Structure 1
Amino acid sequence: MTTRTSLIGGAAAGVLLVLAAGQAQAQDTTVQWRGAPQWANDSLTFKVRGRVYQDYIYQDVDRAVGADFTASNTRLRTARLGVEGTWNTNWSYKAEASIASAGGSTQWEDLILEYRPNDFTSLSVGNFKTVSLENITSSRYIVFMERGPFNDVLDIGRVMNVQAKLNGQNWTAAVAVSGDSVNNADVATNAGTGSKEVFGFNGRVTYAPILTDTQALHLGVWARQRNREDQANFTYQTRNNTNYGARYVSTGAIGVKDQMLGVEGAWVYRNFSVQGEWAKVNVERLADAEADLSAWYVQASWFPTGETRRYEANKGEFNRTRILNPVTSGGMGALELGVRYDNVDLTDVRGVATAGEYQAVTLGANWYPHPYVRFMANYSVSENDNPAVAQDVDVKTLQFRAQFDF
């Protein structure tokens, strides 16, 4: 699927003009503030949305083989602009594009059309995420600057999906048929080698057996199966708890098919929370070879200022934290402290020197002046162990972020 910057810009401008024109002609239009103005006329709504993350990163890299070095950079991690809205109580949409984030090219992020025949059923089509608590929760609301190696090694980001989902007050159940990302190039048509893109199935179920005003317990399980078809082999690799710098643990492009099983859990009690996930990956390689990979993390968060992570059981994800005393009302904002341990084990892959094990500890501190602005600091100590070739790499990463969204 080929994405062109000019098409994205033109499509976005066209959507904005058409919707704005429609709103200009509407009667009894009201405006309310939801981080940015939202226009509404009966059940028709329209809102511009976006986010900006500006980072500074410093790394100290200690290598068993080769020279040690330090690196630092100020960078635009994310800049996005999009729209969202509803046509009536049943139909809604979201379209968001990243604007050359982290030095890359402009591309689509969430691109979703959703139909809800009632409050408990939805059908969605588009480019979006489907599995893992940390993955589905927006980066605006996670505890740390990056989701970490768990999401990196599993490659469970946005792809094109057709998804059916049911939910109650404290549970969700979803299944989806998946393809490739909308941003990836079309598979070249070639009668000799084939031209099929990645194809897969996935599903996720969540349940909150405890859900009160002061605490919530989240349990979940998900599974995914995919086939590379005529595209490149799957690669399983991880960075050092940051989007910056090199990867030192990687299998290379080895996967023809894979099956994943993940479990997730979280407990929120007043201003304290813990969260963790574990996943097992069975990778099918060429010549009938197989390998089993694993990844897991556990983290804790505490608000000394009394806030609580806002868990939504009918969605199976976390949402925006409510700030008790924002600076815009004369308060000091909210302070959050966090700690996380990550582990990825790729050592079952034979014949690849860098298919090792990764582990890291990350400390984090976040200050929220008000709900739509956050300043973040993370410090990670990472170990990349490749026992087959003694190419161990230890990385210390200090990074800061200024974040706002609307």
Structure 2
Amino acid sequence: MKIFTTTAIAGALGLGLLSPPLLANPSQAALVQLIEQQSAQIEALQQRLSALESGRSDTDGNAEIEALYDQIESLQLQMAQVGSGGGAGSGNGLTSWRRGGPEFRTADGFYRMQLRGRVMFDLSSTGGSNFDERNISGTELRAVRLGAQGQIGAMRYKVDADFANQAVSVKDAWINWGWRGFGLPMEIFLGNRLKDRSIDGSNTLARNPFMERNAVAQVGAAVNGYYGLGANYKVYGRNWHIGASVAGDQIDNEGNENDSVTYSVRGHLNPIKTGTGFVHLGSWYYYEELADDVTAINNVPRIGQNFNDNLRVSSSSLADPKRDEGYGFELGGVYRSVWSLAEWTERRIVAGIGPMGLNERVDRDAWSVSAGWLITGEKPGFSTRSGVWGTTRVLRPVTEGGIGAFEIAARADHYDFTDAPNGADARRTTVGVNWYLNNHARLMLNYVDWETDNKVGAFQGPDSGQSIGMRAQVLF
């Protein structure tokens, strides 16, 4: 930290502020004193920031940490303005690159905008299946996104467009207000965004330690999917959060039928939370009001890699659905560089499948257990604020001459659709290795051993095999 102070004063020397004739000028001496004071303030803020980040498993979205970054950047801007002779109050903005992309903001921080983007390139191969059509290999641009997020006072906004699969689709597109009520941070989102449902279901794939979402996220999804256009409210405590949302169909609804509307709630609690780790408990529930155009429910999740459309689990189509609801539980924890998570879900669908078309309830179940270890000493990027995966802070980035961060992870998933006529049963085991080059780029390798037993569809009967997936990813 002392190096920064010395460098700042040396910069002022280079501008001629400390030449003997100027030192005799009281106004110039005051500028020198101001630079020294600002350098000392930055040093103190950086020490506080380092202490906070080293004691947390998550830093994304933490209000205190973000405020410290803002204060440091504002002081750096003021020092640059003073050193150039502009005075502490001149200038109109600052550019920061600490999130991997350029962020522009005014000196007072009232206006800010950051360019966002991600590229995820996948290579996958499947073998061992009894069906040749399942033993395929290929490449895929899983995500190619470009967008922006920003802030105008207390209002935030975000918009992302995805260009993968030779089509343009809008993902996140929302505005947000934050305030404090009853002494607690609260916020509301209006627009299209991920629903708060399960750990993997609430989370972007770009932060997930595995290439694909787990069975709980896949089986427990509502008809209108992971995203929904609507309103989402969240309140945060010191070691908990609760979120509630009302969302219709995703943005691509053609507009000739009513939306299916999903009402959902999710909460989490950290009953143990220390500087070395925490325990995570969570639960969620949704009820979906189905639109008239939903004449059947038949989700067929992929069990290998996303590229292979032939490798799916058949849930058996349920005609004339009347009711759709789901709930789940979460248990997990982090200790130093090790993490472990478990999830379970049940989705209940009432449909006209009984004798003479009478309504009957069918349950679809899934569970997932996973664990990982960052062998280079980093803290897992799991957020205690919102109960989802965030950024893994790399201690020795490759881009700064280090080795990056290495993580090994394993997961077991189970799909149970057997409560339905002709419903399948399946399981998969995934072993993964992640190499984080820095906070924004990583390489992934996943090996998946799977088994299915579909009763309907093109690939019926017991089957098993292996899938290998690799991913190169940049996120900013």
Q: Aligning the two structures, in what range does the TM-score lie when normalised by the shorter sequence?
A: 0.7 to 0.9
Task: Report the Cα offset of residue 106 of structure 1.
Answer: 1.0
Check 1:244–1:183 CA distance in 2 against 1; reply closer, same or farther (3 A cut).
same
The corresponding residue for 1:269 is: 335
The corresponding residue for 2:231 is: 162
The corresponding residue for 1:333 is: 404
Contact 2:432–2:447 (CA under 8 A) maintained in structure 1: yes
The answer on 1:358 being equivalent to 2:426 is yes
The corresponding residue for 1:400 is: 470
Check 1:69–1:94 CA distance in 2 against 1; reply closer, same or farther (3 A cut).
closer
Higher RCO, Cα 8 Å, sep 6+: 1
- Equivalent residue in structure 2 for 1:97, among 150, 161, 183: 161
Q: How many residues align?
A: 366
The corresponding residue for 1:128 is: 193
Q: Which runs of 5+ in 1 are unaligned?
A: 1-25, 189-194
Task: Report the Cα offset of residue 71 of structure 1.
Answer: 0.9
Measured in 1, the distance between the counterparts of 2:239 and 2:306 equals 34
The corresponding residue for 1:52 is: 119
1:302 aligned partner, one-letter code: W
Q: Secondary structure at the match of 2:217?
A: helix
Check 1:358–1:314 CA distance in 2 against 1; reply closer, same or farther (3 A cut).
same
The corresponding residue for 1:251 is: 316
The structure where helix makes up a greater share of residues is: 2
After superposition, what is the alpha-carbon deviation per residue over 1:146-180, rounded to whole angstroms, capped at 9, x for unaligned? Answer: 11332222235111121121111211111111211
2:187 aligned partner, one-letter code: S
The answer on 1:314 being equivalent to 2:375 is no
Contact 2:272–2:278 (CA under 8 A) maintained in structure 1: yes
Task: Report the Cα offset of residue 234 of structure 1.
Answer: 2.7
The corresponding residue for 1:200 is: 262
The corresponding residue for 1:20 is: none
> Once superposed, which parts of structure 1, at least 4 consecutive aligned residues long, lie more than 3 Å away?
66-69, 253-256, 386-390
The corresponding residue for 1:380 is: 448
The corresponding residue for 2:303 is: 240
Measured in 1, the distance between the counterparts of 2:231 and 2:298 equals 24
After superposition, what is the alpha-carbon deviation per residue over 1:325-366, rounded to whole angstroms, capped at 9, x for unaligned? Answer: 11122211110000000001001112xx3x211100000001
Task: Report the Cα offset of residue 127 of structure 1.
Answer: 1.0
Contact 1:248–1:393 (CA under 8 A) maintained in structure 2: no
Task: Report the Cα offset of residue 125 of structure 1.
Answer: 1.0
Measured in 2, the distance between the counterparts of 1:256 and 1:72 equals 40
The corresponding residue for 2:219 is: 153
Greater Rg, structure 1 or structure 2? Answer: 2
- Equivalent residue in structure 1 for 2:415, among 314, 337, 344: 344
Task: Report the Cα offset of residue 388 of structure 1.
Answer: 8.2
The answer on 1:184 being equivalent to 2:253 is yes
1:51 aligned partner, one-letter code: R
Q: Secondary structure at the match of 1:335?
A: strand
Contact 1:320–1:371 (CA under 8 A) maintained in structure 2: yes
Contact 1:148–1:242 (CA under 8 A) maintained in structure 2: no
Matches within 5 A, 1:18-29: 28-29=92-93
2:342 aligned partner, one-letter code: G
2:173 aligned partner, one-letter code: L
Could you tell me the TM-score, scaled by structure 2's length? Answer: 0.74
2:178 aligned partner, one-letter code: R
